[in-house]
Amino acid sequence: MKQWFKSGSPWIWMTGGAVSISLISVIGLLAMIAGRGLGFFWPAEVTQFEMHRGDVKETVIGEIYDREMVPVERLKAANIDLHGFTGDEVERLLIKTGNREYVDLDFRWILATDIVEQSTPSQLAVFERSKNGNFYGYIESVIKDGKAVEESQKLTVLDELVERAVELNESALDLQNGPIGHINYDLERLRLKEKALDLKGELTHEKVAEFEAERKAYREQYLVLEKELFKFRDAAKRDQVIVKDMRGELVTIPLYQVLDVTLPNDMGLLAKVGHYFKQVGKFVSDDPREANTEGGVFPAIFGTVFMVMLMAVIVTPFGVVAAIYLHEYAAKNSITKMIRIAVINLAGVPSIVYGVFGLGFFVYMLGGSIDQLFYPEALPGPTFGTPGVIWSALTLAILTLPVVIVSTEEGLSRIPSSVRQGSLALGATKAETIWRIIVPMASPAIMTGLILAVARAAGEVAPLMLVGVVKMAPTLPVDMNFPFVHLDRKFMHLGFHIYDVGFQSPNVEAARPLVYATAFLLVAVIVALNITAIGIRNHLREKFRSLEH
């Protein structure tokens, strides 16, 4: 035994164990995020529990959300009746009961010992609503235009009616965000124009009258549109459905609040798969609802992608030029070496420091000056002197600059000097050599750097919290109002969405699966980007290795 220890073999096993632990945690982590994130969309069975607690008998309907084992001792200490249960541990279930406006809590823990009967009856319906979350219950009757629909047809009619209500709601929303939003935007621009003239002292009475006339025209347009909007809304309010909930009471749900009706217990596998992809589709294309705890994450996806693209546009030329300068033009001396080390180290500076810099320098200093020079009419309300998407992109560009520089330089240094010398020997100038030979050969390295930069930028949250991200942006940074791209606007971001919904929302339990789904989306994008970058890099290395020999 002593000999064995002396040979060092157990220590080799111990170091091997560390690799196993690392692998388990990496793969386990990714698998857990994937499992929980993707599982969220699967239509869960709705279970009906007949319960008795003490003398009270009640029915609980809901999805089983989580389960855990509780030591009996702890329950006994709390004086909980276990109905003569013997054993060390009792199972406890977390049930999502929905029906938020009729029960105290839409999540409740129940003890397995309290359950008398448990079933998954068919005909149990799940209503996805735009307000107050899900509703669970049995469909009693469907009211179409004030009249009850025939019993046998109620499900098909309900589907049609829900679709109609959803469409009407969408038209109303389109109207509101489209033409009506446009009018509001124009009115605001008119106000600023008027104020700008006033500041210059050029606001004459004729001008005032002109502005007033324009405003009046807008208001008239608005009234017409508003009537249309109300028409849509009224039409959507036409139908209702009457549902028997778990208390046994009949509840009328207006259909304009209903987004989707499913009977998960009656679904076949195919229907479930169909529903699954429908839910995934909704998740990536819908706006969030209920303080971000429900609905989709489209604005966050859009914001993240837009900001990152903007950043890529800024960072690529600067990073490449700096790398070319460092590698091709700068003198090969100790100063260049020190600069190179400094650049590498900037990649290790905490991201929050860049956030602080961005807030102070870009937002307050640069943005503040822009406001004073170009938007005096909007003051004291800031235009660019407040966190916004352009400042976020700039801050992250500085943050990822070292990544691009380092990667590009690595690519440049891999190009054999014989290639350069060959080009120069044939009479090309240095600039031509770089532009025609070196840069094309280094382009995969530049691409790698860019992808790594994008992957890093997409995952950063801390600096964005200071320079432009918000929990709920009313408008996207790109819309149909002139000048179409609004760089001064605040935006939503997947990473911040995770932080905000997971930690700032009032109903964390309800939001948790959504956070997992968002996290999975973000991880998938970033891991895919990184794997692409690693792939390109490896390919590149192989290519130049063959060139050298």
Partner 1 sequence: MSSNPPSVDFNTNRNRLIKDKLAKYSITAGGTLVLVALLLIFFYLLYVVQPIFASAHVEVRNQFTLPTSQEYIAGGMEEQGEIAYLFTPSGELSYYTIKGENFGNKLTSFNVEFDAAVTSFARTVPHQGMYAYGLENGAIKVVEPKFEVGFANNSRTIKPSIAYPLGEGEVTIDDEGASIRQFAFSYDVEESRLGVLAVTGDKRLLFSMLSAEENMFSGEMEWSSEVTEIPQEGKIDELLISPDFSRAFVRVANKVYIYNTRDIEDITQIQVLAANQENANLVKMQLLSGANSLMLVNDNGEISQWFEINGEQGRKFAKIRAFASNDGNISGLYSEFYRRTFFSTNTQGELSLYYTTSESELWSGKVSDSGIDFFSISPRSNAALMLAGNQLIVVDIENEHPEVSWSALWQEVWYEGYPEPAYIWQSTSASDDFESKLSLVPISFGTIKAAMYAMLFAVPIALSAAIYTAYFMSPELRRFVKPTVEIMEALPTVILGFLAGLWLAPLIESHLPAIMLILLLTPVAILLTAFFWQNLPESIRHKIPDGSHAILLIPVVLLAGYIAFALSPAVELWVFDGDVRRYITNELGIDFDQRNSLVVGIAMGFAVIPTIFSIAEDAVFSVPKHLSNGSLALGATQWQTLVRVVLLTASPGIFSAVMMGLGRAVGETMIVLMATGNTPIMDWSIFQGMRTLAANIAVEMPESEVGSTHYRILFLAAFVLFIFTFVFNTIAEFVRQRLREKYSSL
CB of 17 to partner 1, least distance (A): 4
22 contacts: CB under 8 Å, gap ≥ 6: none
- In single-letter form, the type of residue at position 12 comes to I
Strands (E), 11-163: 47-53, 56-71, 89-96, 107-111, 115-119, 124-129, 135-144, 147-148
User: 437: helix, coil or strand?
Assistant: helix
331 binds partner 1 (CB under 8 A): no
| Selected binder of partner 1 within 209, 224, 309, 353 (CB under 8 A) | 353
| Selected binder of partner 1 within 499, 507, 513, 524 (CB under 8 A) | 499
Residues 468-497 that bind partner 1 (CB under 8 A): 495-496
Q: How many residues does the chain have?
A: 549
18 binds partner 1 (CB under 8 A): yes
Stretch that binds partner 1, among 104-112, 190-198, 480-488, 524-532 (CB under 8 A): 524-532
Dig out the tokens for 177 from the structure. Answer: 């965000």
Strands (E), 314-378: none
> Please, is 115 exposed, middle or buried when counting C-beta atoms within 10 Å of its C-beta (0-12, 13-18, 19+)?
middle
CB of 291 to partner 1, least distance (A): 17
| Selected binder of partner 1 within 116, 309, 527, 547 (CB under 8 A) | 527
531 binds partner 1 (CB under 8 A): yes
327 contacts: CB under 8 Å, gap ≥ 6: 409, 412, 413
344 binds partner 1 (CB under 8 A): yes
Stretch that binds partner 1, among 43-51, 260-268, 352-360, 478-486 (CB under 8 A): 352-360
325 binds partner 1 (CB under 8 A): yes
Dig out the tokens for 376 from the structure. Answer: 């005096």
Q: Judge contact between 492 and 471, C-beta under 8 A.
A: yes
User: In 10 A of CB 462, how many CB atoms?
Assistant: 16
Which residue, 181 or 444, is less far from partner 1 as judged by CB? Answer: 444
Distance CA 549, CA 228 (A): 74
| Selected binder of partner 1 within 212, 435, 474, 547 (CB under 8 A) | 435
Residues 133-172 that bind partner 1 (CB under 8 A): none
421 binds partner 1 (CB under 8 A): no
503 binds partner 1 (CB under 8 A): yes
Stretch that binds partner 1, among 135-143, 160-168, 294-302, 355-363 (CB under 8 A): 355-363
- For tokens 């008795």, name the residue: 52
CB of 219 to partner 1, least distance (A): 31
x-marked contacts with partner 1 along 280-319 as a string, rule CB under 8 A? --------------------------------------xx
- Cis peptide bond upstream of 513, omega within 30: no
| Selected binder of partner 1 within 34, 94, 352, 524 (CB under 8 A) | 352
DSSP state of 480: S
335 binds partner 1 (CB under 8 A): no
